[in-house]
Amino acid sequence: MSGAPIFTASPSTGTHASQIRFANDGAGSMFVGRANSSGNTDVFSLGTAYINFVGSTGALPLVFLTSGVERLRIGGGGNCGIGTNDPQRGLHIHAGFRYTNRLGNSTQTALHINTSTGDIAPTASSLRYKRNIEDYTKGLETLMQLRPVSFNFLEDDLPNCGLIAEEVDALNLPEFIRYDEEDLPISIPYDNLAALYVNAIKQLKQENDSLREELNLIKAHLGL
């Protein structure tokens, strides 16, 4: 059999750089598919000189295919893409996402991110998951201080509307604010505003009932 051996202690010499082969660097490390001594195209490495890994020691992407189609890519910078060959974030999904760890038999559920642990889980409203329960008393007066705005996000420039986190935080409403690592306002959990809406509607209903009662007394006095 002619040509360079498959197993070698010096994988960077001879014609090894153009072959798919097993190689041993002589220092207790085994490489499969290593193209050169820089290790830029290692497919699999095992040993003491290099920590066990699958991938590349250079700035080359690691790509997974099925049926000849790319399904997942880890870019040279570390971003992971599913359904995209140009991931822009740590995890970039350009495909459907299915979450099956639902609570009960509901067909739809909201998900939230636990800012302490980073876990993604269904949003729970059950008494079983709550403590320090008290009546929430803020309502119409607080609601009237909020300033709805229209805007465009810097990232995609799409038209949007909502509230400004810093303005809500300035009203001393931390229950409606999420903060970043530097304790700066970053987002508003809009679902939480439901408590404010309910109280505001109740207060408007009470005012309406009071006005209706006064109107009926006036009508009765005038004989109408």
Distances (CA, A) of 147 to 63, 78, 143, 156, 165: 47, 40, 9, 23, 11
Q: Is 122 a member of any domain?
A: no
pLDDT confidence of residue 152? 93
Answer yes or no: do 84 and 167 share one domain. Answer: no
| Residue-number span of the structural domain to which 201 is assigned | 133-224
- Placement of tokens 């809406």 in the chain: 197
pLDDT in tens, 84-128: 999 998 999 988 877 777 666 656 667 777 767 777 777 778 898
Domain count, the chain: 2
The percentage of the chain sitting over the pLDDT mark of 70, rounded to a whole number, equals: 71
pTM: 0.60
Q: Is 50 a member of any domain?
A: no
Q: Is 17 a member of any domain?
A: no
Q: Is 48 a member of any domain?
A: no
Supply the DSSP symbol for 132: S
Q: Is 28 a member of any domain?
A: no
Distance of CA 192 to the CA centre of its chain: 19
Whether 58 and 71 have beta carbons less than 8 Å apart is answered as: no
